[in-house]
């Protein structure tokens, strides 16, 4: 026998032979109804194997079984009683999608996730194809689903361009190499990493894996990767994730708890901010209510500097009680800031800003930033889709544009996949299907003799299952009440179907949503009911009570907002969920206002503070923190490494709290009243700590 040559037709992708081979192998085993098949029969009848040498067959057959197992399709091995060799079988339960028993309401809720996420979601294709499979190959059911009163709009993260490569490396257990900017040390180093999983926090993506340089598990922000991501070796697999590694342990970690705990701190929080700490950070420690309405918050920390920054950001609403070394560090930062503000402002007007180093510019993601499913999964979903659309005579005529939309596939990929499916046989028992283009607009399909085996959808690949659960994490709590309950029930069923294999995708917001606020806002949007809210303004520190007519919930720039008509203000207003202390449903309904503009929020999200903030401060940042500021906003870098930025703001208290987080590394240069407000707050805090 001769070794396998190139594909039989020109124009196929490099992986065409192996995909035909694996589809033919699955088809042969499925056509035997679970009965074992000898190695000799597989060697003789599976497309591609007859052309191989003995050694090549053994190698390719092992690789094919291993790759199918990674997709959840486990071929069963047994002894051949006649030859003492091996036989192979594929039970239906090992290939077909298990009966997840989703109700129509649960399917609609899952489809609503796609409606909300699809436009700017890196994993839109795996999500859509998973839903097509769950809906038994009838994606037109997706058209019945909608997510009323909910929108998510965000630009792709600057690091999103490397997502497809990293996702593939995680699935294939391939060690990757890239150049990484370590912002804490202000240096770029080559890193070799075993990638374990990916996490999205707000709009930023992070890779979690074993760093060979540091000899420990580390978290890498994708926007700080400064090179292409490449494989470290040519081996099929390079590593196995350690037993017991749990990506879920990386959820909802505040900045001061990113590593191993080094101590425990205690913070006294004033009554007006006690609700905030309890609602958003209670999971990070213990909250003990005090008699005056204040709370004592105790939390473990790994990085004292980050915890001090958080306490300072709360201004006069919080006092760090211990441990003594952290309290001393906080006081030292206040003293540095006091001295900085007392000194004359630096003259920067005539200074020529230093050019921004090209390596640190925020890169726009490439056009191919979206993650796609593996080719085998895409082919099996397409096969099921085409076969299920055939009529009683086994024929179908489908618009090409509709197929591409339903399966979220490019037209050129559809054409290549159709050509490949035409070549898949069932071990000489018959072909899968035959399809040909009628012009450019229509696709004609005929079922072949043995197509029945592919009419049922294949089981979800690990990537598809993880994507569904990620979508639930991102959207679940924000769907209207009835849909949210259905989605939670669907998620439990999907986790059970996913099995014990740990996930490789998670979401983890720094500030988790307040379930009671979400529930009330969602119910009010769904039922057109008035909502009474108690709202805290981060800028002024004031709390107001308002009656609002809620219309739309929007996730924008990593935060959740709800768009309302505010009866107190007499106009449209946008409120942040994280600063809503209370939301109470009223029994009174309201008639929608036809002149209230909402579409702009669906298209563009909530505008940043640069759009609506009436004031702008000029802020100087030291060289020690300038690189962190530069990641978040445009700056002018100065020759000494420091920078100047223009910071829009609404009220002095908001700007004071923001700049306090930097300790003695930031000061406003103007307007004068902003600098005076910050200095007065610093003096009061020093007196509180007995350091004035």
Domain ranges of the chain: 16-95, 515-611
- Kindly report the number of other CB atoms within 10 A of residue 239's CB atom: 16
- Strand segments, DSSP code E, in 73-123 are 76-79, 86-89
The crossing angle, in degrees rounded to 10, of helices 104-117 and 462-475 is 80
pTM: 0.78
Residue 582, H or E segment: strand 580-589
- pLDDT on residue 539: 59
Under-70 pLDDT residues of the chain: 1-14, 98-100, 118-120, 137-158, 349-367, 426-430, 449-453, 476-484, 499-500, 509-515, 538-541, 556-559, 602-613, 692
Strand partners, 188: 181
Structure tokens at 436: 């040909």
Residue 180, H or E segment: strand 176-182
Q: Which CATH class is domain 16-95?
A: mainly alpha
Q: CA 430, CA 246: separation in Å to the nearest integer?
A: 45
Q: CA 384, CA 453: separation in Å to the nearest integer?
A: 9
- Kindly report the number of other CB atoms within 10 A of residue 122's CB atom: 24
- pLDDT on residue 251: 76
Give residues with Cβ within 8 angstroms of 78, minimum separation 6.
36, 86, 87, 88, 89
Which CATH code for domain 515-611? 2.30.30
- pLDDT on residue 532: 93
Q: CA 499, CA 482: separation in Å to the nearest integer?
A: 27
3-state secondary structure of 166: helix
Q: CA 230, CA 1: separation in Å to the nearest integer?
A: 36
Closest residue by Cα to residue 460 from 373, 370, 371: 373
The crossing angle, in degrees rounded to 10, of helices 481-498 and 515-527 is 120
Burial of 130 (0-12, 13-18, 19+ CB in 10 A): buried
The answer to whether the beta carbons of residues 334 and 689 sit under 8 Å apart is yes
């Amino acid at each position: 026998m001769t070794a396998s040559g190139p594909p039989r037709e020109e124009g196929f992708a490099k992986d065409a032979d192996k995909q035909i081979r694996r589809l033919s192998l699955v088809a042969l085993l499925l056509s035997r109804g679970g009965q074992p098949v000898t190695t000799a029969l597989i060697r003789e009848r599976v497309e591609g194997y007859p052309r191989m040498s003995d050694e090549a067959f053994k190698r390719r057959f092992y690789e094919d079984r291993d790759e199918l197992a990674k997709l959840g399709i486990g071929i069963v091995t047994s002894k051949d009683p006649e030859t003492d060799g091996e036989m192979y079988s594929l039970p239906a339960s090992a290939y077909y999608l298990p009966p997840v028993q989703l109700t129509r309401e649960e399917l609609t809720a899952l489809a609503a996730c796609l409606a909300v996420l699809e436009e700017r979601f890196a994993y839109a294709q795996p999500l859509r194809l998973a839903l097509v499979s769950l809906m038994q190959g009838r994606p037109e059911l997706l058209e019945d689903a909608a997510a009323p009163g909910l929108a998510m709009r965000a630009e792709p993260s600057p690091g999103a361009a490397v997502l497809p490569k990293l996702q593939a490396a995680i699935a294939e257990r391939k060690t990757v190499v890239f150049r990484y900017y370590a912002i804490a040390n202000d240096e770029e180093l080559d890193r070799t990493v075993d990638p374990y999983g990916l996490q999205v926090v707000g709009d930023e993506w992070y890779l979690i894996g074993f760093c060979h340089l540091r000899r420990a598990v580390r978290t890498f922000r994708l926007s700080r990767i400064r090179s292409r991501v490449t494989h470290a070796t040519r081996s099929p697999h390079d590593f196995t994730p350690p037993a017991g590694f749990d990506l879920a342990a990386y959820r909802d970690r505040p900045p001061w708890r990113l590593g191993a705990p080094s101590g425990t701190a205690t913070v006294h929080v004033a009554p007006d901010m006690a609700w905030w700490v309890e609602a958003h950070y209670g999971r990070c420690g213990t909250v003990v209510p005090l008699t005056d309405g204040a709370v004592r918050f105790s939390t473990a920390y790994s990085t004292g500097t980050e915890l001090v920054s958080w306490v300072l950001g709360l201004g006069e609403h919080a006092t760090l009680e211990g441990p003594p070394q952290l309290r001393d560090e906080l006081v030292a930062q206040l003293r540095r800031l006091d001295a900085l503000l007392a000194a004359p402002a630096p003259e920067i007007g005539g200074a020529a800003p230093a050019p921004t180093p090209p390596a640190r510019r925020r890169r726009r993601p490439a056009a191919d930033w979206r993650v796609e499913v593996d080719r085998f999964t895409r082919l099996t979903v397409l096969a099921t889709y085409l076969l299920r659309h055939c009529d009683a005579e086994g024929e179908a005529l489908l618009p090409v544009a509709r197929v591409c939309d339903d399966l979220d596939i490019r037209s050129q990929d559809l054409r290549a996949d159709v050509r490949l499916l035409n070549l898949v046989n069932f071990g000489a028992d018959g072909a899968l299907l035959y399809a040909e283009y009628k012009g450019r607009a229509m696709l004609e399909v005929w079922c072949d003799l043995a197509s029945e085996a592919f009419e049922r959808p294949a089981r979800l690949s690990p990537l598809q299952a993880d994507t569904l659960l990620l979508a639930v994490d991102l959207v679940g709590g924000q769907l209207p009440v009835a849909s949210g309950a259905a989605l939670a029930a669907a998620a439990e069923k999907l986790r059970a179907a996913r099995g014990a294999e740990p996930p490789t995708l998670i979401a983890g917001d720094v500030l988790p949503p307040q379930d009671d606020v979400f529930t009330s806002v969602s119910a009010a949007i769904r039922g057109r009911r008035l909502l009474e809210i108690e709202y805290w303004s981060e800028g002024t520190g004031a709390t107001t009570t308002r009656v609002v007519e809620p219309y739309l919930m929007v996730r924008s720039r990593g935060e959740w907002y709800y768009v309302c008509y505010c009866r107190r203000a007499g106009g449209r207003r946008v409120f942040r969920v994280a600063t809503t202390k209370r939301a109470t449903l009223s029994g009174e309904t309201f008639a929608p206002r036809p002149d209230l503009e909402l579409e702009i929020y669906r298209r563009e999200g909530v505008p940043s503070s640069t759009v609506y903030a009436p004031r702008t401060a000029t802020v100087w940042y030291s060289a020690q923190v300038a690189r962190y500021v530069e990641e978040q906003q445009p700056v002018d870098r100065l020759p000494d490494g420091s920078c100047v930025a223009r910071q829009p703001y609404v009220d002095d208290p908001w700007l004071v709290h923001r700049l306090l987080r930097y300790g003695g590394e930031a000061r406003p240069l103007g307007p004068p009243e902003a600098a005076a407000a910050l200095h007065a707050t610093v003096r009061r805090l020093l007196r509180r700590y007995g350091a004035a």
